[in-house]
Chains A and B, each alone.
Chain A
Amino acid sequence: MKKYLLLLPLAIFFTSFANGQGKVNNIPPAVVYGERTMKEIGVQQTKLDSLQLKENIALSMADVLTFNSSIFVKNYGRATLSTVAFRGTSPSHTQVSWNGMKINNPMLGMTDFSMIPSYFIDDASLLHGTSSVNETGGGLGGAVKLSSRPAQNEGFGLQYVQGVGSFKTFDEFLRLTWGDEHWQTSTRAVYSSSPNEFEYRNHDKKVNVYDEDMNIIDQYCPIEKNKSGSFKDLHLLQEVYYNTGRGDRFGLNGWYINSNRELPMLTVDHGEDTDFENRQREHTFRGVISWDHLDDGWKMGAKGGYIYTWMAYDYKRDVGNGNMAHMTQSRSEINTIYGQADGEYYIDKEWLFTASLSAHQHFVESRDKNIIRQDGNKAVVGYKQARIELSGSVSAKWRPSDRFGVSAVIREELCGTEWTPVIPALFLDGVISKKGNIIAKTSVSRNYRFPTLNDLYFLPGGNPDLKKESGWTYDAGISFSVGREGVYTLSGSANWFDSYVKDWIIWLPTPKGFFSPDNIKDVHAYGIELQGDLSVALAPEWSLKMDGNFSWTPSINVGEPRTPADQSVGKQLPYVPELSSTVTGTISWRSWSFLYKWCYYSERYTMSSNDVTLTGKLPPYFMSNITLEKVLSFKWADISLKGIVNNLFDEEYLSVLSRPMPGINFEIFVGITPKF
């Protein structure tokens, strides 16, 4: 029955469309239909609009993607690690860039999306499967492109928002802008903090009540607080843009993160939170300078960048009298230097040639454990490595008529001293019907992903003999977009994909008691992605906007049995939901707006054999959030008032085993934008 219930939002969505033909105006400018740029021939992408990105200052990109895309967000708790994965692949198969620079952690391969405040992102697009080859290699699942852009303000601008929420959560956001004909500057700051002690019924353990002889006379599941889960995150973003007006644009973006987070205790932890400290700290600076030159028929650009990341993990134990002794004291430092050059050349309107070359030079030092050697001297277990990553591509795009386009991309990558074979990608699209802008797309690509630095060098367990993962991906889809000026816009797409990944790297325990990676699995991931967007002006001063996503993503282990007893072959990968769906709807009247967000994940298996046990069960869940906003417009300022209810129906749910999640909770935001 639940499988059918998830179709309800779509049913409502289409019912809305069927009835949305009246005379109305005030369409939100969210959907642009009928536009096909040469660069996007055959590309399957999801673009997140400003409404989705800027809906709530307290949201991270993990939250935004959870409710606005088909990709799976694996969330370890509130303000803790959140990774994303396309189409049944792993988080390290998702390549993430910010203003062109790759920000995947070179040690781990993945990106923590809980560390990316959505308010710092002005443009976000998801490139599904093959489409990622246009931008980068290594995206066996896809790529996420994040960027900021000029505010395009004249004179001074200021916006300040303060939020107060459940669990003593405080959020502050400030943005200062200044601009003229040539210059645009922007300074943004976000600070979020909370002890994060939300209450939940802990069904995983019981409290014992003893009599005097220490016999258990009663047991009960306690209502516990999320212990050791506090966070303080500061983000600063400085941007300066200069436009010469003669075709040259310069940009400077600097983003600083200072994060101090405790790692919440598991639901099965019987320790006292006051006896332990489990904390992760991070200082990261990312900076990009860019230059673009636009001319008749051609464009070129260059970028340079730098990333510094310092991460500390401390696990301490009270050994008496409040004296906290280190059990683990792990430190890592990453320095990355980045450079990129791009060029585009148009011949008439039929041909576009592009070329791109990027370089990321990583210097990494990992100090994981302090030990005493056999000779009594101290030593550190860790590694220090440097690695260059080059990625170059050329493409030719040809659109001989309005109805047909073809694009061929050739990419090659170097990682350390190892080259990939040539990575080819081919994209086709064609207009099936101009009425309804019905477009068919198809693409195919090869792709490779190199092991991360931890995969190769981490002590203990790093495996320098690992092979790179490789894959083939096939995509085919159809999209449409219709609308009537000032009345409605409706667009949708259906996409089928099929991908094979060979030599999938997995970390497994060894007989020596530590984990080590190996090229273990071959995976066949396939499925369907559906997307729909509707904007409709219902009546004068009334508008409705709805977005929906639905994914069916079997991700099947097709490797050889690891041992004779192996039951995992032919089964869905653990922690990959087969079905997921999201719907958001906003209804606006004058300066009021009401937003409803809903998402669904089907059951995730925790075992590769897909056995569902009492201990290893992650039931499906639905999540609903609502927001009511009112904007008050005065001569001197705009004031926005916003109330948010998260987990509207107070669901008890889990994203990952033994990680508590909050029930219903509330946030209030007050924002002011003075009019200078």
Chain B
Amino acid sequence: MLKLFVRLFFLGLLLLHTSCMKWEYGLEEEFDTSASGEGLFICNEGNFQYGNATLSYYDPATKQVQNEIFYRANAMKLGDVCQSMIIRDGVGWVVVNNSHVVFAIDINTFKEVGRITNLTSPRYIHFISDEKAYITQIWDNRIFIVNPKRYEITGYIEVPDMTMESGSTEQMVQYGKYLYVNCWSYQNRILKIDTETDQVVDELVVGIQPTSLVMDCNNKLWTVTDGGYEGSPYGHEAPSLYRIDAETFTIEKQFKFEFGDAPSEVQLNGTKDKLYWINEDIWEMDVTADRVPVRPFLPYDNTIYYGLTVCPRTGDVYIADAIDYVQQGMVYRYSSSGELIDEFYVGVIPGAFCWK
């Protein structure tokens, strides 16, 4: 009996060995979207610290969506928190915040062509020239200067009156040789940077925490503040939408929201004469308007809108719903007159868009 027990014991051990987990690693998939013309990239942030950010691609003509295109094309993960993307000369630059990296991808095959690493906590990238770009950061008081051709960090722009811990530089808009940057987290400023000297030459105080920045057809900058939050030692106020003249760098108009509102995601249409933003509902306003419309473009419909973009060619409005932030989000596509055209699931927390 003893032998039987001992045999059974070790037999069990051997059998358990056969049941080990087997990983299935991805194979590189071939894509070619060069023929499709217009296309929309969707940056899905994923959950912070879980490394499940993804990139989706939508063809507005065929209404087909491809999810996880970065993983499928490259057989590796995109990373942790996909923050933003821009396209320059057929190359998409995908900023992955908590992976400390900016990937460069071919916008037709989605294959990686290079990457910029060793960033602190990148948020947005803006090209000054083929060989010079700026990358803004959070938790760093420096804007990184990079050479995109060599994928190298070449220098830094130190932001005055900002510590590493409360550092926050965000979206960038260029007017002539000057670049404007909104400073968001525990900040209240728009910076003006001379792109020839890489120096901050001026700054403009707006309200608490300006979240986004665009420039319209009249060279007016638009930013919207979120007003901070209750209990914040930095302050809590009613948010505002600001119109700033890029030439004089002065505030021309302030549109005040209700205290407690949370406006975000200021966007422009293709002709840059209409402004859109999220404030629970989706709002649309002419850039020459004197007051905020009374009725929204799309009313709140039990949907938590998280991202927004407007097709530069058709004026279709795309809105991202992150749902509960731990499942694949939904993107709704509306015509410029507010008719629902399409809806499609993308990745976890769709937050930013980029038009091909």
Contacts and interface: CB of A to CB of B under 8 A. Distances in A.
Contacts of B274: none
B176 interface: no
Main secondary structure of the interface of B (DSSP, over half): loop
Interface string B1-40: 1101110110111011111111111100000000000000
A574 B349 contact: no
Given A204-B51, A372-B163, A511-B306, A566 B234 contact: no
B15 A5 contact: yes
A459 B231 contact: yes
A609 B188 contact: no
A371 B164 contact: no
Contact of B80 (A203, A266, A329, A506): A266
A637 interface: no
B164 A325 contact: yes
Given A327-B140, A608-B324, A615-B77, A9 B16 contact: yes
A380 interface: yes
A203 B25 contact: yes
Interface in B152-171: 161-167
A19 B324 CA distance: 53
Given A16-B8, A275-B118, A615 B327 contact: no
A35 to B, nearest CB: 27
B21 A652 contact: yes
Contacts of B139: 315, 317, 327-328
Contacts of A319: 142, 164
Contacts of B323: 562-563, 565-568
Contact of A271 (B13, B117, B231): B117
Interface residues of A, number: 102
Interface string A1-44: 01001101100100110011010000000000000000000000
Contact of A624 (B16, B54, B167, B278): B16
A506 B324 CA distance: 10
B256 interface: no
A266 B327 contact: no
Given A214-B149, A380-B233, A460-B232, A269 B349 contact: no
Contacts of B185: 513
Nearest to A315: B139
A566 B150 CA distance: 44
A267 B79 CA distance: 8
A406 B101 CA distance: 63
Contacts of A615: 46, 51-54, 68, 71, 77-78, 347
Interface string B75-117: 1111110000000000000001011110000000000111101
Contact of B278 (A511, A539, A567): A511
Contacts of A608: 324, 326-327
A594 to B, nearest CB: 8
Interface string A615-637: 11001111010100000000000
Nearest to A204: B77
B115 A208 contact: yes
Interface string B212-249: 00000000000000100101111100000000000000
Interface stretch (A58-66, A444-452, A653-661): A653-661
B227 to A, nearest CB: 8
Top 3 nearest A-B pairs by Cβ distance? A658-B51, A271-B100, A609-B327
Given A565-B343, A607-B327, 20 more contacts: A5-B19, A8-B15, A19-B1, A206-B75, A267-B77, A270-B96, A270-B115, A317-B140, A328-B165, A371-B165, A374-B188, A506-B324, A509-B349, A563-B303, A563-B304, A568-B324, A574-B326, A615-B71, A622-B16, A649-B20
6 contacts: A270-B101, A587-B5, A611-B327, A613-B328, A616-B52, A651-B20
